[in-house]
Structure 1
Amino acid sequence: MTNSRNAQARQTLVTGGTGKTGRRVTERLIARGAQPHVGSRSGTPPFSWEDPNTWEPALDGADSLYIAFQPDLAFPGAADIVGQLSRLAVDKGVHRIVVLSGRGEDGALAAEQAVQQAGAEWTVVRCSWFNQNFSESFFQPPVMAGELAVPAGDAMEPFVDADDIADVAVAALTDGAHAGKVYELTGPRLLSFDDIANELSQVTGRTIRYVRITDAEFRAYLKENDLPEELADLFSEVLDGRNAHLMDGVQQALGRAPKDFAQFAREAAAAGAWTP
């Protein structure tokens, strides 16, 4: 009976519940005995960012909320949508919101403010490039093809692991000690896309090259593959050097070091992420 009451007291709507971080957040909450609601189009009831009519039913019974906005908080209009959901959540009885944010984009900062002003306890989890972008997302097919063609120049990024993000998010969802905190998460090293290609080559046993392309070439690639052109705007914004420094958000929130890209790559390769 105690476990049941605790689970009910920790019911969470996890938006993006089938995505890179949302899936991991859901798994961790279930392991803790909680009852997360997977916020997705296939959920019961469904949740869709594009259909506000799905929001209220998905929030029924929830007292906490994990926001992982799709496609990205930097996209136009994202802050207004996130603010609308956050205010509705508070009206429905949600008292704690954790938002997955970006690192320094104007749109992400506006979305953070919308969450902070909604009236619930809040925690901001800031991240930029995920390791899993190369194994579960838009960079996986190029890795499989042996060529990472990106308009990134020599930009350096502290790639962060989705497992670390989920661990921080779950800590914030389940422990009020994280309320009012802004955690900026990075991995332990700055890496260029050349570095990434080399590390992936080592774990896959195949040659993977980083190819520098122009913004125009990248936009053409996005169009050909039916991907949002706003991704090109995001690339140019976040790869301008603003994030080329390490932060200690993982250490602050969890008291441990973040996962290194090399460890991620070995684990992903062993799990068959890049097996033909």
Structure 2
Amino acid sequence: MSKITIEHTSNPAIIKFVASKMLTESSYEYNSIDDAKNSTLVQQLFHLPFVKKVFISANFIALEKFDILEWSEVEKELLEILEAYLEQNNSVFAEDSKEQIIEVYAESTPNPNVQKFVTNKLLSNQNIELSKIEDAHEVPLAYELFEFPFVKEVFISDNYVSIQKTNDLEWFEINNTLRDFLKEYLQSDRRIVSESYRSVPQAGSVNKEVFKTTDDEISKQIIAVLEEYIKPAVAGDGGNIQFLSYEVETKEVNVLLQGACNGCPSSTITLKNGIEATLKQLLPGKIGAVNALN
């Protein structure tokens, strides 16, 4: 079994994991998951949102991080991932690893009642928001999460789950329980969402008398701005924004806030100072106001 040790470097953004055996006779640098077609391990590492670059050379793997956390918060878990992978695979470049090593870590969000649990595995291509167990029969992961009495709402998107808790407990009391459950569930390769499931806005989250879909040219421009400039930032906080409609006469934009954004105390500030301001700047003269219909 290959042993791995952690080495901190003079660059605080870069950490090295040094193996007790040679990993490669060449040197490789990966700047994105698209560069990592020859390495399942590197692909898994890029699913972690703080990983910016991966370097493999001789007997070490070096990682460069985005400035969203400190290495001390995740280095032990990364060590476990690398050791487990090398124990199961003869090479970091093996295309057919026996099993993906799942890791889950928690991130706080602007909403104090919502925690974002990020994993190195794609969970869903849909944005799935559920507020009760009765709606979760086709989303087995959410169904089992609702069996915890302190889980109030579940939002699943990409490689993370945002969970809203009840008010009677603090996160430090339940974080490890949820993290361990998610890690075990995903490692067991159980179904996350049924193939027939199609995400729809939750009942009561949209005023049906007001909501009317639009697909005119300005609506398409608004969607393009939301996709490129707004959604990545909102997803980083464990939420999502969904375009609903554009009112030509009043120039009002109606959206649906999901995940950590829904019910967040700072969502009004985000809506006006962030989303509305960005749309007004990039689409001058076309935006009057942005309203959340939930």
- Shorter-chain-normalised TM-score: which range? under 0.3
Structure with higher Rg: it is: 2
Q: Which structure has the higher relative contact order (CA within 8 Å, separation 6+)?
A: 1
Which structure shows the bigger proportion of residues in strand conformation? 2
| TM-score, normalised by the number of residues in structure 1 | 0.27
Which structure shows the bigger proportion of residues in helix conformation? 1
